[in-house]
Amino acid sequence: MTTQSTDHEATITPTSLRQAVALDERPSRPSAVSTTMTFGWRALLKIKHVPEQLFDVLVSPVIFTLMFTYLFGGALMGSTSTYIQFLLPGILVQTIVFVTVYTGYTLNTDITKGVFDRFRSLPIWRPAPIVGALLGDQVRYLIASVMTIGLGLILGFRPDGGFVGVLLGVLLLLVFAFSLSWIFTILGLLLRTPNSVMGVSMMVLMPLTFASNIFVDPSTMPAALQRFVEINPVSHLVTAVRGLMAGQPDSGEIIWVLVSAVVLTAVFGPITMRLYRTRH
């Protein structure tokens, strides 16, 4: 037995090892689509293995919806059932807009852990890690949408636009959220820590969401604040989503949101990729 084992080991040489692992032909480079989908799946796996990432997605809409409906609904519109019809599309927009921050947060986390440099060294389509992460986050936005709308239905929300109106409103919101996420990827590339990304992002989003038409009719606000609300992109988004869900779509606002989404992607997408390529 010892002699046979020795003879067998003696036949293993560096040349034979190279021949064993050698490939007849070089593997083809993965396509941009397949690579992007792979990174999108990676984003979903991160949610699976770290379910705490869904805490804000699941808890925030519940807290805001219940708090504003039952604390202020009666005072603002006479009854909670009337107020929930006005409030819910706005809360949905606020929830998804807040969740877009996590795109930059998770990107910065990859940078601090060194994963970022490994991705840049791979022979793949360069934007794939970022675009894939953005697509994967669409699932997070969809979960938040279902959670918010489901709670609204329990509380008495009855959209006159029916299922189609709600679906179109959510799709419009997802399109805008994808474009908005590019801004937070830039912050994720520029700032040093994930917590700083979260802090700066919330400093930007809090005034945009609360100084809008999410919670109250802007006509009750001071004139100067009304002018800000009128040009606030969040207000345009809320009006478009609210109209679709109410069965009274405002084509002007819908076009405004779609054009804004294209502009945001066209402006901030290339900036993000330039930072991605040049960051050391």
- Render pLDDT for 31-84 as a digit per residue (tens, 0 to 9): 888 888 888 888 888 777 767 667 777 788 888 888 888 888 888 788 888 899
What integer pLDDT is reported at residue 242 of this predicted model? 96
Tell whether 2 is covered by a domain. Answer: no
Mean pLDDT of the chain: 86
Tell whether 183 is covered by a domain. Answer: yes
- Residue 20 pLDDT level (bands cut at 50, 70, 90): low
Distance of alpha carbon 207 from alpha carbon 86, whole angstroms: 20
Tell whether 207 is covered by a domain. Answer: yes
Tell whether 172 is covered by a domain. Answer: yes
276 in Cβ contact with 130 (< 8 Å)? yes
How confident is the model over 157-207, as pLDDT tens digits? Answer: 999 999 999 999 999 999 999 999 999 999 999 998 988 998 999 999 999
What integer pLDDT is reported at residue 263 of this predicted model? 96
- Residue 24 pLDDT level (bands cut at 50, 70, 90): low
Query: Number of C-alpha atoms within 13 angstroms, CB side, residue 32?
Result: 5
* Segments forming the whole domain that contains residue 110: 30-278
168 in Cβ contact with 75 (< 8 Å)? no
If you count them, how many residues does the chain have? 280
Tell whether 6 is covered by a domain. Answer: no
What integer pLDDT is reported at residue 279 of this predicted model? 67
Q: Residues 227-248: what's their mean pLDDT? A: 94
How confident is the model over 124-171, as pLDDT tens digits? Answer: 888 888 888 888 888 888 988 998 999 999 999 999 999 999 999 999
What integer pLDDT is reported at residue 205 of this predicted model? 92
What integer pLDDT is reported at residue 113 of this predicted model? 83
What integer pLDDT is reported at residue 74 of this predicted model? 81
Q: Dig out the tokens for 224 from the structure.
A: 């100067």
Statement: residue 3 has pLDDT above 60: no
Best CA proximity match to 40, nearest among 135, 145, 120: 135
Tell whether 263 is covered by a domain. Answer: yes
Return the percentage of the chain with pLDDT > 70, whole number.
Answer: 90
Tell whether 131 is covered by a domain. Answer: yes
Domain count, the chain: 1
Tell whether 42 is covered by a domain. Answer: yes
Best CA proximity match to 198, nearest among 112, 92, 99: 99
What integer pLDDT is reported at residue 280 of this predicted model? 54
Distance of alpha carbon 197 from alpha carbon 105, whole angstroms: 6
Best CA proximity match to 83, nearest among 68, 97, 103: 68
What integer pLDDT is reported at residue 1 of this predicted model? 46
